[in-house]
Amino acid sequence: MTACRAVLVSAPASGQGKTLVTAALARAWRNQGLRVQAFKCGPDFLDPMILELATGHPVYQLDFTMCGETDCQAQLYKAAQQADLIIIEGVMGLYDGTPSSADIATRFDVPVLITIDAGGMAQTFGAVASGLLNFNPKLKSAGTFANKVGSQGHADLLRSSLPTGIAWFGALQKNPQFALPERHLGLFRAGEIGNLDDIIEAAANALATDLPLPPMVSFSQPAKQTYPQLLANKTIAIAKDDAFCFIYQANLDWLIEMGATLTYFSPLHDTALPEADAYWLPGGYPELHLAEISKNTAMKNALQQAAIAHKPILAECGGMMALSASINGNPAFNVLPGNSQIHDKLQGLGAIKVALADGEIGSHTFHYGSFATPLTPSYIAKTRFGKAENIYQHGSITASFLHFYFASNPQVAARLFLS
């Protein structure tokens, strides 16, 4: 067992300001000289980018379906050995989803801090906080935080509404300066918000100087799992730029753990591929960079030659769309037969366990795109809502709208990069 201060920041629903509040708290504690490690419940890519800027450290995901409980336990135990404080941002409302933020909090005994958008609210604030924190008797309460309050007087009124036993963590007043821009997949990438560090710092400074610390939590060590270095002496080149940016830090960790050397390239701007044994094009926003993709014929030729040379290529979500013949009618890299389209409505959502030839691996899907192709799916995975997601194998290419989580089964993940 190892102990560390820890808290999970949740809310009654999405849109309450969890990400900014979590980032502000993390930065405020970091400014006190603490080493803060952040996590995100669920498979989100975007919120962790903001939390990484707030803490100065890579952020990891916690999700029982995609990651598995053992991986979650291992990540938390490792963090508790290195950090002074662990802060976890929840997903949606406290009890929403399977697993919910409450499920993760109770599994690891992490106390919950409820963030509530208090605009238009007075004494009901206390009732909402009490109801959420007492709904599950196994849930431990860290306290509550008021977001978007109108004034100091408003904050005092909210605080006085709390029943005995629920701690007050503070409040942020409503301020346009604290707004974070959004688009169809969620918040903008951290790198696109030019003044994001200033926003986080201002929000952190706006918190009370007597900001309390969360309690100590003990984390147990999981059974040690070792895997053969299946990727020893292999170089994997990873697409990374404004269009290809959805990469789990845990995936990078596991590729290195299995012996791989990692290098990076930009499909938008580079004119050649780095020399490598395999290539990975993760998801992102190729639909926002259609002109660069259409014009980069040198990269198109390089990717086509890599496929002809039978180099293993993993193309996830946006990566698959970029390898198709076209996106929204605009020429793409034309390595996969078929055409991609972005729609106004969500086309896929959910964490999925995928059964591949070598075993089962965790994944998730969240996309507005479709891929019309003559290819026959090699595998079909279904979300718990019944939505099917196809996995295609075309020569040496594995392509899907799914984002795989390598740590859930490193041996299966390794096979995606081997001939």
Catalytic positions, written as ranges = 317
Of 173, 176, 167, the residue nearest 207 (C-alpha): 173
Query: Tokens 């938390």 map to which residue?
Result: 76
Nearest-angstrom CA–CA distance, 45 and 248: 7
CB 383 within 8 A of CB 349: yes
Nearest-angstrom CA–CA distance, 242 and 282: 11
- Backbone phi, then psi, for 190, in 5-degree steps? -55, -40
- Backbone phi, then psi, for 331, in 5-degree steps? -60, 135
**End-to-end CA separation in angstroms for the chain:** 41
With a CB cutoff of 8 Å and minimum separation 6, the contacts of 273 are 237, 265, 279, 299, 302, 303, 306
Structure tokens at 21: 């509040």
- Backbone phi, then psi, for 353, in 5-degree steps? -90, 120
